[in-house]
Every structure is written in structure tokens, then in C-alpha cells.
């Protein structure tokens, strides 16, 4: 991970490969740097040979007039449209442009961007996240590491009066980005590596390092818990299912915990209701919700949040083996409700149902689950937003607000009682699919049956991974989606 530093220096004195200058439309460049460059930046702006529209970058060779080799002009767009997310994306573009220019180090300053609306802490955190996340690489399985030009090794935040707040923001970003890297790594591993046992072992190791209590239940313990819905999905796989329970109990003793539940489907073939072969390799990402919860738990410990937070991740494969659950089979869930399984590819809700029932033992203040649950959500919202549904509007609003701030946006879908009619079974308490319409909603309606507490559901089927980065700080493959949104939510809720 790129090294981040905060130093009380002026940008024009920074001995780095590149210096990034963030500019608003209609704004002026920093006087001292522009003076040393002979007014060149001001002339570019005046003649409109460069316009600082959002994320527009112009590289200038300094010709030795300042210690840095290159000045990068980075556009922020209109000042009234400025947000932490705009800066996050602009900083990502700056880091990528610095690397493309051959720089191994980058200097930037965010002090001037701080205001009553955007604190120095927040702008520093946003810029740091953009830089670090944009430079992520996954080279685990390459004989020769992927070459993306020169490696950017360090980024220096040149600061003055705001140095203490800038340091706090950068330090927080480092801890959060480390967790996002973990979530991305877990998601990018192939299914033959990232088995339920692999995921559980990583959770144990990372939680031990972070100081989070972690227990892993195997098949026998899951059977004793009477998680029949979870076990139905696991039946077809040669890999043993695992149930990961993580506890960060640093709040008051009588404080009800917030519980995060993540879908840990390490590979999803669809089971007997098998998926088409085209694109099935992407089903290694079906554990992205679980990876986000594991990573979030390590981050809450690193940030020393004084709250009671629990993470639950049911892990299994969904395979069409000789013992696999069949369409029409009925499973008895931990809650006692029986489930008619009409489609074995609607398996995520089956493992989440038992995890949501298990969450009741904590008498939670609120529960949020996160899952790559339905292709229907992707049809509805595309790849730019997650679906958000639930039973508590205050909880939903808090998640949506956190998503807006972190750029991990979500959109609320209805969950009216009438949708429950679609999952009524004639032979069991509930069936695991509705008709062909509103699949993201009926999936959530199914999950709602297993909750009796304030609850929200994030469907990240469209946002968890991509063949290309949808934002400048996202890279192809696993996005590590949900970690930053969860941290922001947990801090504020």
C-alpha cells in the first residue's frame, strides 16, 4: 500500500516526482507555484487551454523551476458542487496521472479545500482514500506482477495550520483502506482457493491481529444450531460449511449491539437450478458481502470505535452434487419456519435466513445484511447503486446518508406487505422465490420473515465487482464494496 505522510511544508518546496494542484472552475492557481513557473498555469486557465472541469488532468513539466518534476492540474468542477466524493475521485485521478508520468512520489495539499461544510479531517480522508484505493493491485497468481507503469510509493500531504486534523483524516483513511484491500483480496481469489475454510481462516487470523473476538462453527455446530436452511444449500458441496461469528464489544455493557450479516457464498453454480456457463466464473464474487463484513470488523477495531458491533458470515458453496438440495425440497430453518425451495439458485437468502435468526440472540439494536442477492436488483438499478430495503426508516436513512458520503450509493426500494403474497407456499410456511417480477423486493420480503428487530438489507449484486473500475478509485474485479459505507454508518448511527 502506498505510504502516506503529512508534513508541514509548502508545495513548491516538495521534493517529489509530482505535485497535484486541485482547482475549481473559475478559480486561481496557488500564487507561489505559478510565479515560479512564470505564470504559465494562469495563462492556461485564461486562454482556456485547460479547464478544471471535474477530474480533468493536465500534466506540466516544471523544467527544474521547482523541486518536483511534474505539476498536475486536477479539476474539481464547480465549487458549489464540491463533495468529499468529488475529491476522492479527483485524488485518484491525480495518483494515476502521477504514476503515468513516471513519478514515484506525489505531493498535494487539501488545507484550502476545508470549510465549515467540509472539515480538514474529511477532505484529507477523502483524498487519501482516493489515492490508496486507486493504486490497488492483485498479483497473487501472476508469475510476473502486472505492470501499470512506475509504482507510486508515497504521497505527501503538505499542510500548515490544519496539520493535526489532516493527520487524523489521513490516519483514518489508512485504516479503512487496509480493510478495503482485505475485502478486495478475499473477493479476487478464485473459488478453488477461497473456500469456506479459507474465508474462516482469514477471518480468524485478521480478527486476532485486530483484537476482535472470532469464533468459527463447523458443520456439526451448525447442525446443533438447527440451521436447516443454511445446511440445505451446503449439502451439494464437498467443502464443509462455516459460520463465522465476530464480536467487537467495546461499548457500554447494557448497550444493544449493531449486527452486520454478510453473505459468504464462496462459489455459486446455482446448484441443481444451474446457471448458464457464460460468466459463471464471476460467481467467485458471491461472497463479497461476507468479505465486506469481515473487513469491516477489522476496521472498527483499528479505529477503536467504542460501540458494540457483531459480524456474522455464513459460508458455503452452492454445488449440484449427488446430495444437493432439489427444487421442491423443504427445509426447516433455525427460526422454525419451513421453506419450500423452488429454485436452488435463490440460495443466498437461505443461508442469510438462518444467520438473521441467529442475530436475535444478541437482542440487537439493529441488523443490516449485505449480499450479492439478486440479478433483478442489477436490472433495476444497474451497476451504480445498491438496492436498499428494510423495516426501519431511520436505519435506512442512516445507511443511505453514509452511502452518499462515501460514494457507495444505494437506493431505497419499496417493501410493501403485498409483496409477501408472492412468497406464500401451499406446502410450507414460505417459498424461496416469487414470480418473475420484482425479484429484488421479493428476495428482501423473504429475508424479512426471519427478523423481529429493526432491519435493513443491501443488495450489492450490481456494485460488488466489475470488469473495469466504475469510479477512478475502483479497480477491475472486487470493489471491496460496503466497507467504507459501513464504517461511516457505524460511526454516526
CATH number of the domain enclosing 95: 3.40.220.10
pLDDT score recorded for residue 150: 78
What is the Cα–Cα distance from 481 to 493, expressed in whole angstroms?
A: 19
- In the predicted structure, residue 146 carries a pLDDT above the cut 90: no
Residue 255 inside a domain? The answer is yes
The answer on 222 and 135 residing in a single domain is no
The answer on 348 and 207 residing in a single domain is yes
The answer on 228 and 155 residing in a single domain is no
Domain boundary among 108, 129, 159: 159
Q: What is the pLDDT of residues 329-386, one digit of tens each?
A: 999 999 999 999 999 999 999 999 999 999 999 999 999 999 999 999 999 999 999 9
- In the predicted structure, residue 31 carries a pLDDT above the cut 70: yes
- Number of domains composing the chain: 2
Q: How far apart are the first and last CA of the chain?
A: 30
349 is catalytic: yes
The answer on 289 and 259 residing in a single domain is yes
* Domain span including residue 66: 3-159
What is the Cα–Cα distance from 337 to 335, expressed in whole angstroms?
A: 6
pTM above 0.85, yes or no: yes
pLDDT score recorded for residue 243: 99
Instruction: State mean pLDDT over 447-454.
Output: 98
CB 451 within 8 A of CB 271: no
Burial degree of 251 (CB within 10 A; 0-12, 13-18, 19+)? middle
What is the Cα–Cα distance from 258 to 276, expressed in whole angstroms?
A: 38
Instruction: Report the C-alpha dihedral over residues 116, 121, 127, 131, rounded to 10 degrees.
Output: -170
Residue 390 inside a domain? The answer is yes
- In the predicted structure, residue 399 carries a pLDDT above the cut 80: yes
Domain boundary among 91, 125, 159: 159
Residue 174 inside a domain? The answer is no
The answer on 183 and 155 residing in a single domain is no
Average pLDDT across the chain, whole number? 96
Residue 169 inside a domain? The answer is no
The answer on 192 and 152 residing in a single domain is no
Residue 40 inside a domain? The answer is yes
Cβ-proximal residues to 248 (8 Å cutoff; 6+ apart), any chain:
212, 213, 297, 300, 301, 305, 307, 308, 309, 310, 311
pLDDT score recorded for residue 258: 98
The answer on 114 and 214 residing in a single domain is no
The answer on 120 and 258 residing in a single domain is no
pLDDT score recorded for residue 470: 80
User: 389 has which bridge partners?
Assistant: 457
Q: Which of 275, 307, 360, 409 is catalytic?
A: 275
220 is catalytic: no
Q: What is the pLDDT of residues 183-227, one digit of tens each?
A: 999 999 999 999 999 999 999 999 999 999 999 999 999 999 999
Q: What is the pLDDT of residues 34-61, one digit of tens each?
A: 999 999 999 999 999 999 999 999 999 9
CATH of residue 477's domain is: 3.40.630.10
Domain boundary among 159, 193, 223: 159
The answer on 219 and 111 residing in a single domain is no
Q: What is the pLDDT of residues 88-125, one digit of tens each?
A: 999 999 999 999 999 999 999 999 999 999 999 999 99
Q: Which of 93, 178, 242, 349 is catalytic?
A: 349
Residue 392 inside a domain? The answer is yes
Q: What is the pLDDT of residues 7-24, one digit of tens each?
A: 999 999 999 999 999 999
Q: Are strands 366-371 and 105-108 parallel, antiparallel or unpaired?
A: unpaired
Q: What is the pLDDT of residues 281-296, one digit of tens each?
A: 999 999 999 999 999 9
Residue 172 inside a domain? The answer is no
The answer on 191 and 147 residing in a single domain is no
- In the predicted structure, residue 402 carries a pLDDT above the cut 80: yes
The answer on 389 and 292 residing in a single domain is yes
The answer on 451 and 311 residing in a single domain is yes
Residue 284 inside a domain? The answer is yes
Grid coordinates 436488483 are at which residue?
377
pLDDT score recorded for residue 149: 61
Of the listed ranges 143-152, 213-222, 425-434, the one predicted with least confidence: 143-152
Amino acid at each position: 500500500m502506498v505510504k502516506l505522510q503529512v508534513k508541514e511544508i509548502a508545495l513548491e518546496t516538495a521534493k517529489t516526482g509530482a505535485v497535484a494542484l486541485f482547482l475549481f472552475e473559475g478559480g486561481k492557481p496557488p500564487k507561489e507555484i505559478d510565479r515560479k513557473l512564470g505564470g504559465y498555469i494562469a495563462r492556461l486557465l485564461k486562454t482556456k487551454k485547460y479547464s478544471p472541469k471535474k477530474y480533468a488532468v493536465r500534466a506540466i513539466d516544471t523544467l527544474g523551476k521547482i523541486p518536483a518534476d511534474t505539476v498536475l492540474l486536477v479539476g474539481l468542477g464547480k465549487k458549489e458542487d464540491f463533495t468529499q466524493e468529488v475529491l476522492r475521485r479527483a485524488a485518484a485521478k491525480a495518483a494515476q496521472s502521477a504514476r503515468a508520468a513516471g513519478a514515484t512520489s506525489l505531493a498535494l495539499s487539501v488545507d484550502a479545500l476545508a470549510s465549515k461544510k467540509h472539515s480538514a479531517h474529511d477532505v484529507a480522508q477523502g483524498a487519501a482514500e482516493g489515492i490508496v484505493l486507486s493504486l490497488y493491485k492483485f498479483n497473487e497468481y501472476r508469475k510476473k506482477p502486472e505492470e501499470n507503469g512506475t509504482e507510486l510509493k508515497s504521497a505527501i500531504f503538505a499542510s500548515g495550520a490544519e496539520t493535526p486534523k489532516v493527520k487524523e483524516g489521513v490516519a483514518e483513511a489508512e485504516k479503512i483502506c487496509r480493510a478495503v484491500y482485505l475485502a478486495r483480496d478475499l473477493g479476487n481469489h478464485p473459488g478453488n482457493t477461497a473456500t469456506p475454510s479459507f474465508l474462516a481462516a482469514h477471518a480468524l487470523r485478521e480478527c486476532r491481529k485486530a483484537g476482535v473476538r472470532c469464533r468459527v462453527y463447523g458443520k456439526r455446530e451448525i447442525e446443533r444450531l438447527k440451521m436447516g436452511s443454511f445446511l440445505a444449500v451446503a449439502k451439494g458441496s464437498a467443502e464443509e460449511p462455516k459460520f463465522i461469528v465476530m464480536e467487537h464489544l467495546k461499548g457500554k455493557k447494557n448497550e444493544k449491539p449493531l449486527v452486520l450479516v454478510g453473505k459468504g457464498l464462496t462459489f455459486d453454480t446455482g446448484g441443481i437450478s444451474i446457471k448458464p456457463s457464460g460468466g459463471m466464473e464471476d460467481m467467485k464474487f458471491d461472497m463479497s458481502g461476507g468479505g465486506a463484513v469481515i473487513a469491516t470488523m477489522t476496521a472498527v477495531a483499528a479505529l477503536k470505535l467504542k460501540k458494540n458491533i457483531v459480524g456474522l458470515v455464513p459460508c458455503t458453496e452452492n454445488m449440484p452434487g449427488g446430495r444437493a438440495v432439489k427444487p421442491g425440497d423443504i427445509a426447516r430453518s433455525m427460526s422454525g419456519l419451513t421453506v419450500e425451495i423452488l429454485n436452488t439458485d435463490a440460495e443466498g437468502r437461505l443461508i442469510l435466513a438462518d444467520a438473521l435468526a441467529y442475530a436475535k440472540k444478541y437482542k440487537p439494536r439493529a441488523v443490516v445484511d449485505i449480499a450479492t442477492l439478486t440479478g433483478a436488483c442489477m436490472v433495476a438499478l444497474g451497476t451504480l447503486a445498491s438496492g436498499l430495503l428494510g423495516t426501519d426508516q431511520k436505519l435506512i436513512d442512516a445507511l443511505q446518508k453514509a452511502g452518499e458520503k462515501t460514494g457507495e450509493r444505494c437506493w431505497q426500494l419499496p417493501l410493501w406487505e403485498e409483496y409477501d403474497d408472492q412468497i406464500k407456499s401451499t406446502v410450507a410456511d414460505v417459498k424461496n422465490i416469487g414470480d418473475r417480477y420484482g425479484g429484488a423486493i421479493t428476495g428482501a420480503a423473504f429475508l424479512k420473515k426471519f427478523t423481529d428487530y429493526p432491519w435493513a438489507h443491501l443488495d450489492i449484486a450490481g456494485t460488488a465487482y466489475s470488469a473495469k473500475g466504475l469510479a477512478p478509485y475502483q479497480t477491475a474485479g472486487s470493489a471491496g464494496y460496503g466497507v467504507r459505507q459501513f464504517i461511516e454508518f457505524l460511526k454516526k448511527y
